[in-house]
Amino acid sequence: MSEEIFKKVVSHSKEYGFVFPSSEIYDGLGAIYDYGQNGVELKNNIRQYWWKSMVNLHDNIVGLDSAIFMHPKVWKASGHVDGFSDPMIDNKDSKKRYRADNLLEERIAKYEKDGKTNKAEELQAAMDKAILDNDLPALKALIEQHEIACPVSGTRTWTDVRQFNLMYKTQMGALAEDAEDVYLRPETAQGIFVNFLNVQKTGRMKIPFGIAQTGKAFRNEVVARGFIMRMREFEQMEMQFFVRPGTEMEWYTHWKEQRLKWHNALGANPANYRFHDHVKLAHYANAAVDIEYKFPIGFREVEGIHSRTDFDLSQHQQFSGKKLQYFDPEVNQNYIPYVVETSIGLDRMFLLTMCESFKEEQVQNGEQTETRTVLNLPPALAPVKLAVFPLVKKDGLPEMARTIISDLKYEINCQYEEKDSIGKRYRRHDAIGTPFCITIDYESLQDESVTIRHRDTMTQERVKIAALKDLILPKVSMTELLKKLG
């Protein structure tokens, strides 16, 4: 059933111009997607909500836009060249490659579904231990013991488990012989670390302070699925918060609370969120937690909060030979700051927003009951805030509609619609989450009033054109949403 809802969200996203498979006329490209006319507006609004809340509402957090390409040594220093990999296994008959841990997780889910709780727990514990010990032969042994077969060939002839690096490599330089290997960044965070002193010095920043950025990241995910849940090209919104060593756990708790508050302000059902502490800490972390959301296909990570210690700055100091220290006048000491990171996937937040707001409701239309598909998007995130309909395409009504749009469009994203019946126009805008629609009729020419219809309640009322802005703007503005963060 829930899988069904997820499928509906995916097809709705395509049908209404939110997300298209990349290069679709060439049958698409695995796990790469494009955002359509409504998707780009929603995505921009989510990014803006994050940026304003993190950067503009904090006087000790500033922004950055670092390049995707970075010096190759960055990735050596960060540990990504040697350690950013997944344990993979190939089936010799189908030649298909799988993540070994995913095969085991699927088997655990099956045991749980079949009521074999003990077996599920036993396998989970054995898998966690193998991952923690980086014991690849043990992972293979578990796949064999539990008789896991390739979903494509149905056979159990597996290769050994090997680590597979997720970074994309390309060349920089005109001549093949001079070309240098460079990587497409797998996270935006490293751009912040290497600019730590540039920003600190030019901005005269005092610890504790943060640097935030949004931007593309690339990972050669072998098992990329779940629509835009796991992509090979995606966007991150990350903030690195630099603190005095020894205070990092206080800040870790602070950012855990702040980030959940950010999510909750959007009005989703709080029961759909939970924290999940990491079992296996990444090489750079001394504490890490995921904020997970209950997607129709189950709880999945949306955001990570990581206490990264001084690992990254220390590594860059060592590999670059440049001091990356901060003089703290309060304690009269030089030190390498510790870092608490908040890292959220913009695409995953987009998917969360679509899943949370997608509703199919039974509504009465005269004698008939029909299904209304509506996106109950938080109004500040909606791609279109106000749809403007002339009742007919003549007699000055379209002109009046255009005049209203001209007055409002600088502050409220409006869309003009004159095709089809008013009922059909309402349905189209319900489907893209437009919070308000207004209809201009013959009376409007006399009384300077219009009928406004509210998306969620479907109620209608008559209002003066002059009152529209004051009625709509507070309900759709980002400012009101941001004020909820206090």
Distant-in-sequence, close-in-space partners of 137: CB < 8 Å, separation ≥ 6: 160, 161
Beta-ladder partners of 309:
339
Smaller CB distance to ligand GAP: residue 343 or 415?
343
Contact 184, 158 (CB under 8 A): no
Nearer to ligand GAP, 207 or 289 (CB): 289
For residue 5, the minimal CB distance to ligand GAP (Å) is 20
Closest to ligand GAP by CB, 301 vs 407, is 301
To ligand GAP, the closest distance from the beta carbon of 226 in angstroms equals 9
Q: Output the smallest distance, CB 407 to ligand GAP, in A.
A: 40
Q: Is the dihedral of CA 3, 1, 111, 154 positive or negative?
A: negative
Structure tokens at 357: 């707001």
Within 134-217, where are the H helices? 136-145, 189-194, 196-202
- Nearest approach in angstroms of CB 332 to ligand GAP is 32
Closest alpha carbon to 210 in 43, 45, 50, 48: 50
Give yes or no for a contact between 440 and 388, defined as CB atoms under 8 angstroms apart: yes
Nearest-approach distance from CB 451 to ligand GAP, in angstroms: 42
Closest separation between CB of residue 321 and ligand GAP, Å? 24
Question: Which residue number, 191 or 398, has a Cβ lying nearer to ligand GAP?
Answer: 191
Total length of the chain: 486
CA distance 75 to 118: 42
In single-letter form, the type of residue at position 199 comes to V
- Least separation in angstroms between residue 231's CB and ligand GAP is 4
Q: Residue 31 CB, nearest distance to ligand GAP (Å)?
A: 8
Nearest CA to 359 out of 9, 1, 4 is that of 9
Torsion angle of alpha carbons 139, 144, 148, 154, nearest 10°? 130
Cα–Cα distance for residue pair 53/425, rounded to 1 Å: 34
Phi then psi for 131, rounded to 5 degrees? -70, -45
User: For binding to ligand GAP (CB under 6 A), which residues are involved?
Assistant: 187, 189, 219, 221, 230-231, 234, 236, 238, 301-304, 341, 343-345, 347-348
Do you find a cis peptide bond into 208, omega within 30 degrees of 0? yes
Instruction: Identify the sign of the CA torsion 54, 55, 56, 61.
Output: positive
Q: What is the DSSP letter of 226?
A: T
Say how far apart CA 50 and CA 62 lie, in whole Å.
13
Output 312 or 430, the one with its CB closest to ligand GAP.
312
Tokens 């060439």 label which residue?
26
Which C-beta is closer to ligand GAP: that of 169 or that of 454?
A: 169
Q: Which two tokens stand for residue 99?
A: 């993540």
Smallest separation, CB 78 to ligand GAP (Å): 10
Tell the smallest beta-carbon distance from residue 127 to ligand GAP (Å): 19
Closest by CA to 145, choosing from 127, 128, 164, 118, is 127
Cα–chain center distance at 152: 31
Q: Which is nearer to ligand GAP, 153 or 296 (CB)?
A: 296
Secondary structure tally for the chain: helices H, strands E: 17, 23
Decide whether 278 or 372 has the Cβ nearer to ligand GAP. Answer: 278
By beta carbon distance, the residue nearest ligand GAP is 345
- Rounded distance, CA 415 to CA 39, Å? 15
CB of 340 to ligand GAP, least distance (A): 12
By beta-carbon proximity to ligand GAP, the closer residue of 235 and 417 is 235
Q: Which is nearer to ligand GAP, 305 or 472 (CB)?
A: 305
**Among residues 98 and 111, whose Cβ is nearest to ligand GAP?**
98
